[in-house]
Amino acid sequence: MTTILGIETSCDDTGIGVVQDGCRILVNDVSSQIDVHAAFGGVVPEIASRMHTEVITQMVDAALDKIDDPVDAIAFTNGPGLMGSLLVGANFAKAYAFAKGIPTIPVHHIEGHIFSAFLQGKEPKFPCLVLVVSGGHTQLIQCIKAHDYTLLGSTRDDAVGESFDKVARLLDLSYPGGPSIQKAAESGEAQAVNFPRAFAKTDNLEFSYSGLKTAVLYERQRNPDRPVADIAASFQWAAVDSLIIKTRQAIAQTHTPRLVVAGGVAANQLLRDRLTKELDIPVILPEMAVCTDNGAMIAAAGYSLLIHGHSGDLTTTPTPSVSL
């Protein structure tokens, strides 16, 4: 058995995970900074990196106390993300690896999210189509085999998760926007407002959410008495609809036999329900506990990279903007 320690510090969550053989979670601890950043309406990079520094050592110590087997390698998020936050995780990982004489494995943040779908006993299956939905990314990726990716399309502006945060602010809902909009939408009418779906009638596999966000703003200005629940439900339906439309087109164009969904927005219940009901191919969804940023997903991706011959060294430096 191979035991991997995973460290995720790309943004505002400190994630420490320990995974065995790429799929069995032994530890998955997350220290969230949401309450701190909520006061600012979004993540403050300097605060995020400082808070990672404050908790990372004690979190790793606590994680290692929970396991019996020694760690064989340490995986860490190497990008994309906030540079200060990435450096905290990378520097800790390299120092730990040097002290223990074990390999380091730099992991792309999005690849971590992809492998979150294969945790808890789910064996990776390729080829697959990957729908990445998070606060910073909205992408369709074709994966022919492990670690072989082709970008099919991405957002031209806002990511879908980012649009949830911005629309939540327009509706005076709490941060982060994903959970607050989903909760508000539960009592709303999804067909109350017919919001736009960008590129719905084109063959490209690109997304756009800035127009949808602006449409919500105009709706609030034109109809200030319309219930927030109705706007939230209509926005959520349109945002998910755009994802369904482009995913269906990608399936038709690539003939890929299965879909993997990755990223924090994969926790959205409407998206999960509609994907599984409306698509004609198997949909592999991560468990709710590993949809958002966590160390277990980095450990899982790190294990796969390691067995396929990929590892880093002590000179590896994080890259805040890097493609998969």
Q: Residue 324's pLDDT is what?
A: 86
Alpha carbon distance 110, 120 (integer Å): 19
User: Which ranges of the chain does DSSP label H, i.e. alpha helix?
Assistant: 34-38, 45-65, 83-100, 109-116, 160-170, 177-185, 210-222, 228-254, 269-278, 295-307
Determine if residue 79 is left, alpha or beta; phi over 0 gives left, psi from -120 to 50 gives alpha, anything else beta: left
Rounded to the nearest integer, the mean pLDDT of the chain is: 96
Asked whether the predicted pLDDT for residue 122 surpasses 90, the reply is no
Q: For residue 18, how many other CB atoms are within 10 A of its CB? A: 24
Alpha carbon distance 9, 213 (integer Å): 28
Percent of the residues in the chain that have a pLDDT greater than 70, as a whole number = 100
User: How is 19-65 classified by DSSP, letter by letter?
Assistant: EETTTEEEEEEEEE-HHHHHTTTS--HHHHHHHHHHHHHHHHHHHHH
Give all domains of the chain, ordered by start, each with its CATH number: 3-120+290-307 (3.30.420.40), 128-286 (3.30.420.40)
Confidence class of residue 44 from pLDDT cuts 50, 70 and 90? Answer: very high
Asked whether the predicted pLDDT for residue 292 surpasses 90, the reply is yes
Q: Residue 215's pLDDT is what?
A: 98
Confidence class of residue 67 from pLDDT cuts 50, 70 and 90? Answer: very high
Q: Is the model more confident about 33 or about 121?
A: 33
Average pLDDT, integer, range 44-52: 96
Q: Residue 120's pLDDT is what?
A: 75
Average pLDDT, integer, range 253-261: 97
pLDDT digits (tens, 9 = 90+) for 216-255: 999 999 999 999 999 999 999 999 999 999 999 999 999 9
Percent of the residues in the chain that have a pLDDT greater than 90, as a whole number = 93
pLDDT digits (tens, 9 = 90+) for 76-108: 999 999 999 999 999 999 999 999 999 999 999
Q: What are phi and psi of 273, to 5 degrees?
A: -65, -45
Q: Residue 38's pLDDT is what?
A: 84
Asked whether the predicted pLDDT for residue 323 surpasses 90, the reply is no
Q: Residue 25's pLDDT is what?
A: 97
Which is nearest to 135 in space by CA: 158, 152, 157, 169?
158
Asked whether the predicted pLDDT for residue 137 surpasses 80, the reply is yes
Q: Residue 146's pLDDT is what?
A: 93
Q: Angle at the Cα of 32 (from 30 to 38), degrees rounded to 5? A: 165
Which is nearest to 29 in space by CA: 18, 42, 41, 37?
18
Q: For residue 101, how many other CB atoms are within 10 A of its CB? A: 6
Average pLDDT, integer, range 127-142: 96
Alpha carbon distance 324, 305 (integer Å): 13
